[in-house]
Amino acid sequence: MTLRPSAALCSALALLSLAAAPDRAAALDVAEAKAAIGAQFDGAYPKLDALYKDIHAHPELGFQETQTAAKLAKALRALGFTVTEGVGKTGVVGIYRNGDGPVVLVRTEMDALPMEEKTGLPYASKAKAVWNGKETFVDHACGHDIHMASWVGTAQALVAMKDRWSGTLVFIGQPSEETVTGARAMLEDGLFTRFPKPDYGFGLHVGPLPAGQVAYKPGVVSSNSDSLEVLFKGRGGHGAMPSVTIDPVMMAARFVVDVQSVISREKDPAAFGIVTVGAIQAGSAGNIIPDQALLRGTIRTYDGEVRTKILEGVQRTADGVAAIAGAPKPDVTMEAGGKAVVNDADLTARTARVFKAAFGDQAFELPAPGTASEDYSEYILAGVPSVFFSIGGLDPKMMAEARAKGAPIPANHSPFFAPVPEPSIRTGVTAMTLAVLNVMEK
């Protein structure tokens, strides 16, 4: 059958329309949207900078984030969000309805780390809190303060640009990410039953990349985590008479070394797996052998079989160390923490195209998953297709100078980790706002 020219043209246009329909990125004028976001950010930044430095100087530990949550809730209410506080103990949920369309989650974390900041910044944290029964310094060394400022900035940009999109925003201020329990607490408190369940979700994390960069990856982007606690039981006594004691410090030291043989000799060398002991608590004086030693650590893996092999190896090593010393069997506790974050492949591809259009070669795909853990995975496991991406936070000049000198570059959880506020927050706001617009464009 021969089509008239007008009919053929209509058919061709229809085919082009169908081909483009699954990819809403084609409908988004990225350059124009980025310029609008930038103009809005320029006017809003002084208050975002003040908020960032306030949160940085006054960090709070997991499930203690009452003042932090109040600041985020206040910022959302000022924008017209309907805000609920106290979700999952200290969590914040902000809802903004703007007509029919998809429900989109944007999440930030609120908690800080039990460690002392050593950056020397004028707004450095001097805060202290009680952690595991002891007073400790508190520091936003993981970058959650950058995330919160970017989260508020994204909310501001989307509200200012509400004529461009349609749907419902669900902005989540999550407690206690560092203990990988905050997301689960919010879900168990009815996050997706009391509030609209999202069709899409987005989260970001700042890291030791040059400020201005954006990194993404489909599939697995973070590790499984398991917490480790081992209590070795000995027989205390005088440090000058070790023969009448059973030394738990010796057992702890042997375990820290021997458990690495599980990694080097039992697991496939090509498979990712880590056992790190980060804390040893034992004794009170140099001339006293204590009667017990407590170790705390973390186990990280990607693969389920590797995880099982390592957990079994840790148990055997702890039992073996105690048996060698003639000591009672130790108490070994390994608890599952965060599951691996797995980005939705289709949504990541759509988002990546927007990032490349907006940031050029500053946006790139990560070659491999990260080794840290992140409980954003709980939202994905609850049925929210998501993209969790990274932004750079460090001064490129500082990084170049450090490399030239052979000096280490501070990364997350370092007491010297200090993202550069303005470019980091600008990148976070721009990338996150574009990602949301891409799935909510009218």
Conformational region of residue 89, where left means phi above 0, alpha means psi within -120 to 50, and beta covers everything else: left
164-175 core/surface letters (b: 16 or more CB in 10 A; e: else)? bbebbbbbbbbb
Return d(Cα 85, Cα 261) in angstroms, integer: 47
Block residue for tokens 């804390």: 279
Please state, as a whole number, how many other Cβ atoms lie within 10 Å of the Cβ of residue 262.
Answer: 21
CA distance readout (Å), 286 to 23, 238, 290, 299, 413: 66, 10, 10, 30, 30
CA dihedral 132→134→139→142, nearest 10 degrees, is: -20
End-to-end CA distance of the chain: 38
Backbone angles phi, psi at 299, to 5 degrees: -120, 130
pTM across the whole model: 0.85
Block residue for tokens 């990225």: 30
Return d(Cα 158, Cα 66) in angstroms, integer: 26
Give helix 30-57 / helix 345-359 axis angle, nearest 10°.
100
Residue 314 structure tokens: 């840790």
Decide the pairing of beta strands 273-282 and 219-220. Answer: unpaired
Query: Tens-of-pLDDT digits for all 442 residues of the chain?
Result: 333 333 333 333 333 333 333 444 447 999 999 999 999 999 999 999 999 999 999 999 999 999 999 999 999 999 999 999 999 999 999 999 999 999 999 999 999 999 999 999 999 999 999 998 999 999 999 999 999 999 999 999 999 999 999 999 999 999 999 999 999 999 999 999 999 999 999 999 999 999 999 999 999 999 999 999 999 999 999 999 999 999 999 999 999 999 999 999 999 999 999 999 999 999 999 999 999 999 999 999 998 899 999 999 999 999 999 999 999 999 999 998 889 999 999 999 999 999 999 999 999 999 999 999 999 999 999 999 999 999 999 999 999 999 999 999 999 999 999 999 999 999 999 999 999 999 998 8
